[in-house]
């Protein structure tokens, strides 16, 4: 089939895994559900998934709609298209890390579908921080630039997911992350390189200042490394929930860095 055909399959499979957007069935013929290679397409899949919310932001900025309202719409569209997949991971992770006395207790809490105090607070903060950061930066860009900033954050946060997934062992033998396989080293490097390059290009063309570019990179690195160490200390590795939490935390950090520097 060749690289292009395989990569198109990986993009479709990644979009199907990370969102509720329906993909053509031809990309899943003979597919066993593993994402060992497909993770290389996560950053591009993130851009595609977030494209509708970026387009909505551009339109609302062009129409001089309230930036606060626009920010809420952007976050709402993203949550609808992903089925709040990453928010679910953040909530479960916060409950497990906050309420678990030890590794086994934390993993048991994370597997429980009910939301606790730590998870509720984490979700409130996630939506609040992302909305407030977006509300502060969207008016500072042209309509096209505002959309590019949202897409850049999407690419970086999905690259962060792959980094977290590939740098830690599975914390449990079952679960979504374990059943989806371990990212191939080459696929992980491709995702990280593509995500960083795509984000920096999008930020550059959006006219993010040089200090803002540096700040987003530092925020990206600090979040992934710091949260990875926390996950290793708390549960000894990654789960599907911590992978989703990585996306949320990285997006918050990147948007926050832009809000502080642009």
Tell me, what's the pLDDT at 1?
58
How far is Cα 110 from Cα 88, in angstroms, rounded to an integer? 10
Angle, CA of 253, 44 and 255, to the nearest 5° = 15
Tell me, what's the pLDDT at 157?
98
How far is Cα 64 from Cα 104, in angstroms, rounded to an integer? 51
Tell me, what's the pLDDT at 178?
65
Tell me, what's the pLDDT at 183?
87
How far is Cα 49 from Cα 41, in angstroms, rounded to an integer? 12
pLDDT tens series, the chain, 262 aa = 577 888 999 999 999 999 999 999 888 887 888 888 999 999 999 999 999 999 999 999 999 999 999 999 999 999 999 999 999 999 999 999 999 899 999 999 999 889 999 999 999 999 999 999 999 999 999 999 999 999 999 999 999 999 999 999 999 877 666 667 788 999 999 999 999 999 999 999 999 999 999 999 999 999 999 999 999 999 999 999 999 999 999 999 999 999 999 8
Give the residues across from 170 on adjacent strands: 238
User: Domain map of the chain by residue range?
Assistant: 41-261
How far is Cα 29 from Cα 25, in angstroms, rounded to an integer? 7
3-state secondary structure (DSSP) of residue 168: coil
3-state secondary structure (DSSP) of residue 29: coil
* Residue 46 CB contacts under 8 Å (≥ 6 apart), including other chains: 18, 154, 155, 157, 158, 195
How far is Cα 138 from Cα 150, in angstroms, rounded to an integer? 9
**What token pair was written down for 132?**
């407030």
CB count within 10 Å of CB 175 equals 17
Tell me, what's the pLDDT at 177?
66
Tell me, what's the pLDDT at 181?
73
Q: What is the DSSP letter of 40?
A: G
Dihedral sign from CA coordinates of 132, 252, 171, 16: positive
Tell me, what's the pLDDT at 33?
80
Tell me, what's the pLDDT at 242?
97
Tell me, what's the pLDDT at 29?
84
Q: Chain-centre distance of CA 71, in angstroms?
A: 17
């Amino acid at each position: 089939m060749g690289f292009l055909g395989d990569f198109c399959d990986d993009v479709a499979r990644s979009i199907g895994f990370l969102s509720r957007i329906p993909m053509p069935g031809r990309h899943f013929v003979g597919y066993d559900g593993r994402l060992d290679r497909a993770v290389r397409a996560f950053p591009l899949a993130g851009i595609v998934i977030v494209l509708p919310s970026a387009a909505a932001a551009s339109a609302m900025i062009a129409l001089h709609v309230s930036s606060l309202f626009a920010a809420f719409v952007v976050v709402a569209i993203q949550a609808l298209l992903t089925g709040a997949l990453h928010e679910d991971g953040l909530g479960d992770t916060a409950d497990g890390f906050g309420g678990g006395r030890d590794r086994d207790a934390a993993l048991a809490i994370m597997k429980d579908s009910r939301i606790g105090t730590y998870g509720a607070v984490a979700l409130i903060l996630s939506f609040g921080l992302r909305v407030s950061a977006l509300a502060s930066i969207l008016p500072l860009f042209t309509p096209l630039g505002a959309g590019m900033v949202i897409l850049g954050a999407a690419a970086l946060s999905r690259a962060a997911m792959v980094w977290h997934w590939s740098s830690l062992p599975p914390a449990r033998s079952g679960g979504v992350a374990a059943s989806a396989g371990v990212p191939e080293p080459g696929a992980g490097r491709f995702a990280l390189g593509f995500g960083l390059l795509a984000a920096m290009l999008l930020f550059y063309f959006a006219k993010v200042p040089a200090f803002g570019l540096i700040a987003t990179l530092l925020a990206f690195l600090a979040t992934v490394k710091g949260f990875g160490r926390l996950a290793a200390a708390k549960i000894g590795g990654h789960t599907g929930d911590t992978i989703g939490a990585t996306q949320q935390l990285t997006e918050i950090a990147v948007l926050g860095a832009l809000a502080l520097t642009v």
